[in-house]
Amino acid sequence: MALGTVEFVQALVNGLLQGGFFALSAAGFSLIFGVQKVLNVAHGAFIVLAAFATIQFSILVTPVLHIDPLLSIFTDSLMLALVGGSVYLLLIYRIERTGFEAPLLATFGLSILLEYLASNGIGPFPALDPSHGIGAQAQHQSYSSTAFQIGPFFLQEAQALAFVMAVVVLPILQLFLSRTYRGRAIRATSQDWEAAEFSGINTKAVRLLSFITGSALAGLAGGLFAFTNSVTATAGDEVLLPVILVVVILGGIGSILGTLAAGFLVGVIMSVSSLIALTLPSQFQFHADLASLLTFLIFIVILMVRPRGLFGHGIAE
């Protein structure tokens, strides 16, 4: 198959849109890791939890109240803020001073628990099972599942929304971190929490705030995930977390705008490499894997040249 300009640009556009979603998914993880050195490996599961909520919303609420399920991304965000806050206070806060291993194991356990709930259903809410089409349900119910066309290019609406959210929300978050007292307190705590504490900053409140903010971002990303992908219970660990790690490390730990740029980069690399894979002879048609292979290769090359990531100061400090 020959590679036309239109297809190539379409792949670029898809990559940018998908990249916006990646950036949105990774930003919360990056914030939490930057501030409290906690690797929240349940972040992917948090996103799936939000996607699960949106799917339930589209099954249970939309048919009755005729509300576009796309609006549920905001309730997801609120819900995840609550979940994140509770997880921080009940779980992370008690163990985070012991080093980074305990929170890592605790959030790993949490992600297993969340996956179990998603694959078995929570109370009256049915389980996530794409073979029964439940994973794709949110798309069918959405008034926004349509794609729209700009010139010869097609844009899927939920993906475009993820892109817009990323481009709007992440710079606002960056402004919050650099311009407001609370934002500066978050940065001060991430640079030297003890110094922040004896300078008069309530670092427990700051850590809680960053965990809530990071989790709310997972909620936003998760709601959109329900529209753009077929959601499975283990998608958090199998699909999202690897991409999140790549984006966060490329962007530089704790750098929000770096995360945004890295999200776009990874999105474009993935989408263009799938396109290239499609043009290969049929015996090489394992394109889904080839796309990840190319992405991780480029990731390794970039890290060899710039070990601190593209924009950040890296973990070195």
Partner 1 sequence: MSAEAGEVVSIIGANGAGKSTLLKSIMGLVRTQGGEIVFEGTRVNGVAPHTLVAIGIAYVPEGRRLFPEMTVRENLRMGAPRRCPQVNERLKVVHDLFPVLEERSFQLVTTLSGGEQQMVAIARALMAKPKMLLLDEPSLGLSPIAFEKVISVIEKINREGVAVLLAEQSSERAMEISDRTYVLENGRVAGSGLSDELLHDPMVRAAYLGVGT
- Of the candidate spans 137-145, 202-210, 270-278, 292-300, the one that interacts with partner 1 by CB under 8 A turns out to be 202-210
Contact between 201 and partner 1 per CB under 8 A: yes
Q: Which of 195, 280, 288, 297 binds partner 1 (CB under 8 A)?
A: 195
Rounded to an integer, what is the distance from CA 168 to the centroid of its chain? Answer: 15
Of 45, 57, 170, the closest CA to residue 108 belongs to 45
Backbone phi and psi for residue 125, each to the nearest 5 degrees, phi listed first: -85, 130
Amino acid at 59: I
Where does the chain show beta strands of DSSP type E? 147-150, 153-156
Of 148, 192, 296, 307, which one interacts with partner 1 (CB under 8 A)?
192
Q: Is 215 in the site for partner 1 (CB under 8 A)?
A: no
Contact status, residue 67 vs residue 59, Cβ threshold 8 Å: no
Q: How many angstroms separate the CA atoms of 218 and 37, rounded?
A: 18
At residue 163, the 3 state secondary structure works out as helix
Tokens describing residue 131: 């073979």
Judged by beta carbon, residue 68 or residue 317, the one nearer partner 1 is 317
Which of 196, 212, 226, 239 is the binder for partner 1 (CB under 8 A)? 196
CA dist., res. 41 & res. 109, Å (int)? 9
Amino acid at 299: F
Measured from the CB of residue 85, what is the shortest distance to partner 1 in angstroms?
Answer: 20
Encoded tokens for 247 = 């984006």
> Which part of the chain contacts partner 1 (CB under 8 A), choosing from 16-24, 144-152, 164-172, 196-204?
196-204
189-197 CB contacts, 8 Å cutoff, 24+ apart: 189/35, 189/36, 190/34, 190/35, 190/36, 190/254, 191/317, 193/36
Residue 199 lies near partner 1 (rule: CB under 8 A): yes
Residue 238, interface with partner 1 (CB under 8 A)? no
HSE at residue 255, side-chain half, CA atoms within 13 A, is: 22
Helices (H), 61-100: 62-65, 72-87, 93-95
Q: Does 200 bind partner 1 (CB under 8 A)?
A: yes
Select 202 or 279, whichever has its Cβ closest to partner 1. 202
* Residue 197 interacts with partner 1 (CB under 8 A): yes or no: yes
Select 146 or 202, whichever has its Cβ closest to partner 1.
202
SS3 77: helix
Tell me whether residue 184 or residue 306 sits nearer to partner 1 (CB atom): 184
CA 142, CA 138: separation in Å to the nearest integer? 6
Of 7 and 197, CB closest to partner 1: 197
**Binding-site member from 182, 298, 302, 303 for partner 1 (CB under 8 A):** 182
Question: What is the pattern of x (binds partner 1, CB under 8 A) and - over residues 135-174?
Answer: ----------------------------------------
Query: For residues 196 and 266, which CB has a smaller minimum distance to partner 1 in the complex?
Result: 196
Please check whether residue 51 is in contact with residue 137, taking contact to mean a CB–CB distance below 8 angstroms.
no
Give whole-number Cα distances, 109 to 11, 101, 115, 243, in Å.
Answer: 37, 12, 10, 20
CB of 40 to partner 1, least distance (A): 22
Interface residue with partner 1, options 1, 4, 150, 181 (CB under 8 A): 181
Distance CA 295, CA 311 (A): 18
- For partner 1, the closer of residues 178 and 285 by Cβ is 178
Q: Which of 191, 230, 234, 292 binds partner 1 (CB under 8 A)?
A: 191
Q: How far apart are CA 135 and CA 227, in angstroms?
A: 9
Q: Which of 14, 54, 203, 271 binds partner 1 (CB under 8 A)?
A: 203
31 lines the binding site for partner 1 (CB under 8 A): no
Residues that bind partner 1 (CB under 8 A): 181-182, 184-185, 187-188, 191-192, 194-204, 313, 317
